[in-house]
Amino acid sequence: MQVEVASSDLKTAVGIASRFVSRTAALEALRGILFIAEGRTVTLRATNLECGVEISIPAKIGDGGLVAVPGSTLSSLVSNMGGNGKVTIATTGNLLTIKTEQASSNIKTLAHEDFPILPTVSGEHSFSVKASEFAKTLRSVAFCASVSGIKPELQSVLVSAEAGTLSVAATDSFRLAEKKTPLKGVEIPRLLIPIRNAAEMIRLLEDGSGETEVYYSTDQLSLRVKDAYFTTRLIDGTFPNYKTLLPSSYSTEAVVLREDLSQALKSLSLFADSYAQVGLSVEPKKKSVTFSARNTDVGEHTAQLSAAAQGESLEMNFNGRYIADALGSITSESVRLGFNGVGKPLAMMPAGDTSFVYIVMPMNR
């Protein structure tokens, strides 16, 4: 193989591909990035057998061919590469030579015959979404997905669509987030994207512009963003029927300024105990929501926020971090808090917007 590519293209492509490299795989090839030089492009492929990516970059090809090199070495090398000129890549024996204007390196290659192919999704199930919108939608719930592997179905982001609405949701069983956006004319069955793969998918989509076509089968989902092809396995499981958990009405409601709440939670986090427990009390008569935290080693802190509140007054405890997490997905000026009494979850929504809802269970004292 002997090719010439632009240094900036190579940097971007290796940057993306290296995120899919499995560093600990038993199969050596999986620790590598495969270069495929053919026609007018060089395609970089990487996979950890959970998800995989292929990125094509324009190239001047002297000699086509295949070569695999260790991903970690390559990405460190390329990210430190100076200059914006051309890079020449060539193989000699079991060495890959990468030459820039200033530097030249020889990297030992891996057996490319062992490098797996990426699945392509067959069948005609597909839908089209605006890449950046889809990324934003997914990101607004992804933080809720479970990190523990006990329930694989919760280690995922749920994507489904019906009646003109695309719904995504995630939960770790302590809290749950759902985001809806309009999506005309398609029905998507419940697809469970593993959360780690979803994170990579979101990063790719964020780079994209315009519409992206997403293909899916019962086991696999693929999409193309710019010059990258991404594919991930889907989880075979049943996501809980969470819609029934979303309250339709509240016995107590309060609307606070997002900025106030965010600041209060930051201060509270200094004083919260190891479970991040904060007390929350709503007093509609006083038009206030009061947060408090106490840590025997540090001290205690109280923050009273003025609020437009109605319903019964109440007092509950929550994980402060969970409440703060939601503010990453609520960008409106004010936040609506909904309660249904002791032992029932707190719902958080952007004021005047029903497309996002976040529910979090209280803590036992």
Partner 1 sequence: MTTNKELWENVLTELELSLSKANFTTWFRDTHIVRTDDGTVYLGVPNQFVKDWLASKYHKLIVASLRKLDESVRAVEYAISRGPAKRETQKAAPLSGGQELPLESVHAQTNLNPRYTFDSFVVGSFNELAHAAAQAVIRKPGIAYNPLFIYGPTGLGKTHLTQAVGNHFKAMAPDRKVYYATSEKFSMDYVSSMQAGKVHLFKEKYRQYDLLIMDDVQFLSTREKTKEEFFHIFNYLHDSNKQLVFSSDQHPNVIQNIEDRLKSRFSAGMIVSVTKPDKESRLAIVRTKAANQNFDLSDEVVDYIADTIEGNIRELEGALNTLICQAQLKDRVLSLADVKTLLRTVGQPKKAVSVREIIKAVADFYGVEEGSIYEKTRRKEVVKPRQIIMYILREDFRVSFPTIGDKLGGRDHTTVIHSCEKIREDLKTNSALGQEISQIRLMLK
Q: Is 137 helix (H, G, I), strand (E, B) or coil?
A: helix
For residue 51, what are its two tokens?
């998800």
Q: Which is nearer to partner 1, 26 or 296 (CB)?
A: 26
Q: Is 47 helix (H, G, I), strand (E, B) or coil?
A: strand
Q: Which helix (H) or strand (E) holds 114?
A: none
Provide the terminal-to-terminal Cα distance of the chain, rounded to the nearest Å.
Answer: 66
CB contact at 8 A, 34 and 67: yes
Q: Which is nearer to partner 1, 86 or 151 (CB)?
A: 151
Site for partner 1 in 27-46 (CB under 8 A): 27-28, 30
DSSP classification of residue 110: B
277 binds partner 1 (CB under 8 A): yes
Q: Which is nearer to partner 1, 117 or 297 (CB)?
A: 117
163 binds partner 1 (CB under 8 A): no
CB contact at 8 A, 363 and 318: yes
Q: Which residues contact 233 (CB under 8 A, 6 or more apart)?
A: 50, 51, 194, 197, 219, 220
240 binds partner 1 (CB under 8 A): yes
Q: How far is CA 227 from the centre of its chain?
A: 20
124 binds partner 1 (CB under 8 A): no
Q: Is 121 helix (H, G, I), strand (E, B) or coil?
A: coil
219 binds partner 1 (CB under 8 A): yes
Q: Which of 116, 164, 299, 341 binds partner 1 (CB under 8 A)?
A: 116
Q: Which is nearer to partner 1, 231 or 329 (CB)?
A: 231
Q: Which is nearer to partner 1, 221 or 225 (CB)?
A: 221
314 binds partner 1 (CB under 8 A): no
296 binds partner 1 (CB under 8 A): no
171 binds partner 1 (CB under 8 A): yes
Q: d(Cα 233, Cα 256) in Å, to the nearest integer?
A: 41
**Span near partner 1 by CB under 8 A; candidates 37-45, 124-132, 170-178, 323-331:** 170-178
245 binds partner 1 (CB under 8 A): yes
Site for partner 1 in 54-113 (CB under 8 A): none
User: Mind giving me the DSSP string for 202-248?
Assistant: HHHHHH--SEEEEEE-SSEEEEEETTEEEEEE---S----GGGGS-S
Q: d(Cα 272, Cα 323) in Å, to the nearest integer?
A: 13
Q: Which is nearer to partner 1, 5 or 70 (CB)?
A: 70
247 binds partner 1 (CB under 8 A): no
257 binds partner 1 (CB under 8 A): no
Smallest gap from Cβ 114 to partner 1, in A, equals 6
Where b means 16+ CB within 10 Å and e means fewer, 143-153 reads: bbbbeeeeeee
Q: Which is nearer to partner 1, 143 or 322 (CB)?
A: 322
List residues binding partner 1 (CB under 8 A). Answer: 25-28, 30, 47, 49-50, 52, 114, 116-119, 147-150, 154, 171, 173-176, 218-220, 231, 233, 236, 240-242, 244-245, 275, 277, 318-319, 322, 343, 345, 359-364
